[in-house]
């Protein structure tokens, strides 16, 4: 099984629409919808002709990249490559090896493939940001002349040129030629070799990095980790599902909010009382 | 002279321009500045009829701007309100005041947006979607597409309009005590959820045995999933305290995996067929 030129081109177009922070379709629809691996798998599945299989492949990848925060415009890994190169290539690899797409082996391949192509996405992110400098500088020059219409051009069709060069063409080529190379993988990579064992072991560790990133965005002081451990315990030891755990967490959040508000009220009340006394005098 | 008022249609146009264009022409040099100017242009054109004046007012919004753009739509709304007040002759609103508010809000809002929207809300929605999609169903994906876009667009539009109504008074609403208490409580929810997600989705086990005794079984007997939990905490520690990048931590995990397999600590025990 390989990826045809037409399929590769379609994947290239999707990668433009979804390209991380600088997506053609904007932040909410592009970056935070189409760029997420789970959502991308539906579109990759439609292109590849196997929606179910692509979703199964994408689930372990989505877990790894569950929280991709891009503070100050620096990216850890740009998901466009994970979603629109990683998913199709992992799918073709798993399929050509006859693996169960929902099984642990396929999940290992998916995780490793995502980590491998994630760096391609990082290069694409910085490449697009650099190329956009051209359009912004045209914009500044035209604005000085009083041409306001240039803003619409700079914000709409001009960045699409960056995407064609930096997203569309590389994603299409990697998908087209990468999928032919995966055939030889199976002979070259026996499952009982140390490197394949290491590949699958790291595949099981990568989600921990994703959770570490996520934890970093919500933890400010070491005692916050107790809430993390609490959540871990209710899910693992007590077997609560994610939605059930959210309900339990919501109770604690509400109690915390009411305590904070009470403290504020007390402070205000005290201040008012003091004022009253002063007036009496 | 009649009081100048920005029409609803123009406010909508400004909002949608920001919604779409906040990052479409992102560069490291000016980040979201062009999106900001594109969004403010319809408002400025409506408030000022003189071309030279329009150009001068647009220049107010040319300094660097960068925040979490979704929650940042409130800032665009605030400046729309301030610009309207300025056009009606409010003497205390000048370029310095507008840019002071922009600069003062973009830092805190970036922190709030990254931790609440990107760090808590999106992962919870994705987590629920992953549950629905388990086994290859499209249900979870459709759930995420609809719920995320509907709530996010509603939220962004609401805070834009609220920002416009409040103008400069919005600053207190955002960084006030009540908002801080609410935010801290939502983050607490996030902390518990991250723990539950780690327990549900990460599974790291050791194959180390001492004769008949399996280390993994003994550890799970003491605290189920303790190896997994320690790995997540290690990743967090390296990124937050040691300031390592995520890519470097991934590299380190690869190294641990290779060494671990070679000395017999890890063995996934898989085969093709």
Tens digit of pLDDT for each residue in B88-118?
887 778 888 888 888 778 877 887 887 788 8
Chain A partners within 8 Å of B239 (Cβ): 212-213, 216
Neighbours of A128 (CB within 10 A): 26
CA pair distance B108, B101, nearest whole angstrom: 11
Query: For residues B265 and B208, is the Cβ–Cβ distance under 8 A?
Result: yes
Which residue ranges make up each domain of chain A?
5-218, 219-281
Place of tokens 């609401």: B158
Find the radius of gyration of the CA atoms of chain A: 25
Which residue, among A142, A144, A164, has the nearest Cα to A153 in the 3D structure?
A: A142
Which residue, among B172, B79, B29, has the nearest Cα to A130 in the 3D structure?
A: B29
A96 interfacial to chain B (CB closer than 8 Å): no
pLDDT band at B197 (very low <50, low <70, confident <90, very high): confident
Touching B: A residues 260-279, CB under 8 Å:
260-261, 264
Confidence at residue B175, expressed as pLDDT on a 0 to 100 scale: 72
Confidence at residue A215, expressed as pLDDT on a 0 to 100 scale: 85
Q: Which stretch of DSSP H or E encloses residue B28?
A: none
Full-model pTM:
0.79
Confidence at residue B145, expressed as pLDDT on a 0 to 100 scale: 97
Question: Distance, in angstroms, between A281 CA and closest chain B CA?
Answer: 31
Higher pLDDT, B200 or B143: B143
Question: Distance, in angstroms, between A164 CA and closest chain B CA?
Answer: 14
A127 interfacial to chain B (CB closer than 8 Å): no
Higher pLDDT, B251 or B148: B148
Confidence at residue B226, expressed as pLDDT on a 0 to 100 scale: 93
Question: Minimum mean pLDDT among A159-168, B179-188, B251-260: which range?
Answer: B179-188
**pLDDT per residue as tens, chain A (281 positions):** 789 999 999 999 999 999 877 888 989 999 999 999 999 999 999 999 999 999 999 998 888 777 554 433 344 557 898 999 999 999 998 988 888 898 888 888 888 788 778 778 877 887 888 899 899 999 999 999 999 999 999 999 999 999 999 999 999 999 998 877 665 655 666 767 887 788 778 777 877 887 887 788 788 889 999 999 999 999 999 998 877 888 899 999 999 999 998 988 888 765 554 444 444 43
Question: Minimum mean pLDDT among A191-200, B36-45, B118-127, B254-263: which range?
Answer: A191-200
Q: Which stretches does DSSP call E strand in chain B?
A: 209-210, 213-214
Q: Tokens in use for B121?
A: 């809300």
Confidence at residue A32, expressed as pLDDT on a 0 to 100 scale: 92
Residues 6+ apart with CB under 8 A from A273: none
Which SS3 state, helix, strand or coil, does residue B31 take?
A: strand
CA pair distance A99, A106, nearest whole angstrom: 6
């Amino acid at each position: 099984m390989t990826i045809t030129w037409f399929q590769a081109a379609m994947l290239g177009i999707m990668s433009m629409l979804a390209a991380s922070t600088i997506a053609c379709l904007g932040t909410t629809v592009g970056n935070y919808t189409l760029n997420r691996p789970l959502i991308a798998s539906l579109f990759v599945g439609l292109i590849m002709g196997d929606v179910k299989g692509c979703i199964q492949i994408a689930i372990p990848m989505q877990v790894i990249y569950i929280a991709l925060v891009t503070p100050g415009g620096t990216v850890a890994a740009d998901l466009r490559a994970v979603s629109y190169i990683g998913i199709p290539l992992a799918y073709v690899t798993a399929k050509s090896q006859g693996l169960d797409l929902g099984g642990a082996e396929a999940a290992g391949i998916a995780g490793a493939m995502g980590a491998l192509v994630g760096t391609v996405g990082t290069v694409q992110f910085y490449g697009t940001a650099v190329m956009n400098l051209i359009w912004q500088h045209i914009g500044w020059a035209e604005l000085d002349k009083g041409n306001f219409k240039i803003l619409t051009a700079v914000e709409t069709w001009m960045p699409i040129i960056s995407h064609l060069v930096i997203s569309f063409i590389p994603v299409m080529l990697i998908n087209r030629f990468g999928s032919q190379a995966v055939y030889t993988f199976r002979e070259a990579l026996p499952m009982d070799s140390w490197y394949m064992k290491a590949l699958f072991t790291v595949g099981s560790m990568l989600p921990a990095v994703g959770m570490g990133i996520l934890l970093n965005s919500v933890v400010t002081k070491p005692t916050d980790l107790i809430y993390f451990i609490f959540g871990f315990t209710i899910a693992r030891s007590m077997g609560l599902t994610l939605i059930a755990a959210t309900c339990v967490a919501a109770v604690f959040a509400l109690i915390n909010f009411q305590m904070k508000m009470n403290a504020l009220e007390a402070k205000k009340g005290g201040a008012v009382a003091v004022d009253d006394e002063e007036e009496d005098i | 002279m009649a009081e100048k008022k920005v029409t609803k249609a123009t406010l909508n146009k400004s909002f949608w321009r920001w919604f779409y264009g906040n990052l479409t022409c992102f560069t490291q040099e000016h980040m979201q500045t062009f999106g900001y100017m594109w969004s403010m242009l319809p408002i400025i054109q409506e408030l000022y009829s003189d071309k030279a004046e329009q150009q001068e007012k647009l220049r107010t919004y040319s300094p660097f701007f960068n925040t979490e753009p979704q929650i940042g739509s409130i800032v665009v709304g605030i400046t729309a309100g301030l610009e309207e007040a300025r056009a009606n002759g409010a003497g205390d609103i000048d370029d310095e005041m507008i840019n002071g508010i922009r600069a003062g809000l973009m830092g805190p809002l970036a922190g709030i947006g990254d931790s609440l929207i990107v760090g808590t809300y999106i992962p919870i929605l994705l987590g629920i979607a992953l549950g629905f999609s388990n086994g290859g169903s499209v249900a979870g994906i459709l759930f995420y597409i609809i719920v995320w876009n509907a709530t996010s667009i509603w939220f962004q539009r609401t805070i834009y309009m609220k920002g416009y109504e409040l103008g400069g008074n919005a600053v207190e609403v955002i960084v006030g005590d009540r908002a801080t208490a609410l935010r801290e409580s939502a983050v607490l929810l996030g902390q518990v959820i991250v723990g539950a997600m780690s327990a549900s989705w990460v599974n790291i086990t050791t194959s180390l045995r001492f004769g008949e005794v399996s280390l993994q079984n003994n550890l799970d007997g003491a605290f189920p999933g303790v190896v997994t939990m320690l790995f997540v905490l290690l990743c967090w520690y390296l990124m937050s305290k040691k300031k390592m990048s995520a890519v470097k931590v991934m590299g380190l995990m690869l190294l641990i995996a290779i060494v671990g397999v070679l000395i017999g600590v890890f063995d996934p025990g898989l085969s093709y067929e």
